[in-house]
Structure 1
Amino acid sequence: MQGFNKYYPPDFDPDKHGSLNSYRGKHALGDRARKLDQGILITRFELPFNIWCGHCEAHIGMGVRYNAEKRKVGSYYSTPIYAFRCKCHLCGGWFEIQTDPKSTRYVVTEGARQKQEDWDPEENGGFAVHDTDKAATPTDPLAALEKTTSAQTHMTQVQMPRIEELQSFSEQRSADPYTLSVKVRKRFREQKKVDRALQRADEELKGRYGLPESMSLVRDDEESRKAAKEEWERARRQEELRDKESLKKRRIGAAVGTMPVSLASKSRISKQHSSSSSPVISSLRARILENTARHSSLKPHR
């Protein structure tokens, strides 16, 4: 029995046995390490893709787990390549899957075949995701440019002097931090005195004219005078435009007020003209009726 508790038998000797596992004659991994002398470790392995068993031709879905025999079969540079040997749960046949560090995937080596469900980008006008062939890859223009003589000349004549200049400037600024701190604090104290004097002047002005304390006063300097003058000029131009518009409206109103008188006079003239011309129209109508009656009496009867 493997010892998992903290009970130590009376005949247990740490110098002789070392641990409870060695005292019991068991490995720390238990039955999983029964083939450890052959370089095989029993581990739980989950199928990374769908496969068909090569012995019974049965389909085994992705995600099915097996107690696989894990062993090292090689290396890709410094990355080990492991093989997982599993027994089919349907027929008892063995199949093996290995890791492929070069392509970062799993490969079925024997006893089964993988169901091809991968999308091939090369067949669809794309590029391979894992392309380790350096000869087939296009050359990087930036990498090629770095190796040219002009790039090296630019680095030695422009970049390196600039880096050295920045480094010397940084060393100069950080060489004497006490002196720099004294200068900064002195400037801060002087500015603080000026700010306090301006604050006292503002408070005195607010108290003299009864202004609210929340009001912020503008500093009396050249920039403030210039801004105030520009604001005054802008307001004056707006006032002139408003005066011109109001004058124009008054003129239009005066012109509109005289229009009804002229219209009334025109209507009276038209009425007089119609009354004076009414006898002429009546005589013309009588003459037309007389001619029509005469013409109808002269027509022959059939």
Structure 2
Amino acid sequence: MGRLLPQEVHHVVRLLQGASAHSTHSVTSVSLQCKASPTKESGFRSSQCLGFNKYYPPDYDGEKHKSLNAYRGKHALGDRARKLDKGILITRFELPFNIWCGTCNNHIGMGVRYNAEKKKVGMYYSTPIYSFRCKCHLCDGWFEIQTDPKNTRYVVVSGARQKDEEWNPEENGGFAIHDTENNSATTDPLIALEKSTDAHKHLTNVQIPRLESLQDLSDHYNNDPYARSAIVRKHFRAEKRVEAAKRADDDRIKGRYGLPETLKLVEDSDEARNEAREEWERGRRHLEEQSSIRKARLSSSAGPNPAASLRERVLGNMYNSKLVEKRVRKLGVR
């Protein structure tokens, strides 16, 4: 492989120095690939330095140019913004209905797409009205379609005519879908008078008293906000001190008797004492009942008393001996 010329080496060194200098300004570092190809004049052509991601030239300044598009004098949208200085943006537009071209009189179906010149031509209240100017793909004629925010639709302005495929419900006994005109039908004067009377009664009996009560309430609470705020804060501070003292007493009692910290102690009062006394009496009665039941079970499981059983056995034997003597006497008499 041959050598590079001094001019080519100097050019490569300048590129490398520029890339290293701009890397300190948080600019993406450039990975260079230098390719050399033989030529008739010098044997090798100057190296081509290519960047893997984006190429930032040596004279690029991030604070000055802001972006590569600004450095190269190009727009981010590319060729679509070539007429942006005239307020025109090239966009993709799809026909919303069937039309006939006014130049070649050919039919163009709904859904055909064009590179249209989009431009703002007016306003309907706060909604912009846009115009889409398209060139027919069957001839050199142009046609223009605009948005109609008032009726929420598209209208053909020039260069073509729309195929009428809409169904009017008014002609078939229905109601208009987009009725933007004022209703010119005459109303019954008695009905109008009744509505106005009801509205006046509602205003007098409901709305005005409600507004007055709200105004009085607002004046009551906002009369002296600083004084009311001071009273509320003083009350909160007093409650906070009481709660802190109560919490300290509870912690001292829990620590003295080894109670768990999660146990919630009841405030000492006559009602709490009465409830505790009743609960203690109830528990005592329950304990006595349980002890009596336990004693009865133990006595029944131990069996009969030995002395009582012996007495019963002796009496039974005596009774049996008397019966035997009577029977013997009867037999002897016979």
What is the TM-score normalised by the length of structure 2? 0.45
TM-score computed with the length of structure 1 as normaliser: 0.49
